[in-house]
Structures are given as C-alpha cells and as structure tokens.
Amino acid sequence: MIRLGYVAMTLNLKDASPSKTATVATYNKIEDPEGKKYRLEKLTRANLQNILRILRYNLAHDIYGHG
C-alpha cells in the first residue's frame, strides 16, 4: 500500500483536504477496470493538487514545518 499525504492542513483554504479516500468496498463495486483506474487517478490528482495548494498557502504566509 502506498500512502502519500501532508501532516498539516489549513482551515483557511476551502475544500483542501489532502486525504480524500476510497474504501475497498466502494472500489470493488466498480466493475470496469478502466473505471477503477479512473477513480484512483481522480483521487490521487485531487490529493496532490490540494497538497500543492496547502504548500503554496504555507509558503505565502511564512508557515514552515520544523522537524
């Protein structure tokens, strides 16, 4: 299993969750292999776009992680 994500979220960006998911049950209900692929690509694209939005927001507001 591959998990990508960002450990911080901002409350100041609307609809910016970087952790949209699909349950196995929902995924298994999709019969068409291309439909399954499309669903995963759509979720992955949305998560990556939201991570970029959050990173850009953090950069613009001088918010940096320390680790």
pTM across the whole model: 0.74
With 60 as the cut, is the pLDDT of residue 67 above it? Answer: no
In DSSP notation, 53-67 reads HHHHHHHHTT-----
> Are 53 and 16 contacting, i.e. CB atoms less than 8 angstroms apart?
yes
Q: Give residue-wise pLDDT tens across range 50-59.
A: 989 999 998 9
The b-or-e profile of 29-44 (16+ CB within 10 A means b, else e) is eeeeeeeeeeeeeeee
Tokens (6 digits) for 60? 């613009």
Name the residue with higher pLDDT: 7 or 38.
38
Name the residue with higher pLDDT: 55 or 1.
55
Mean pLDDT of the chain: 86
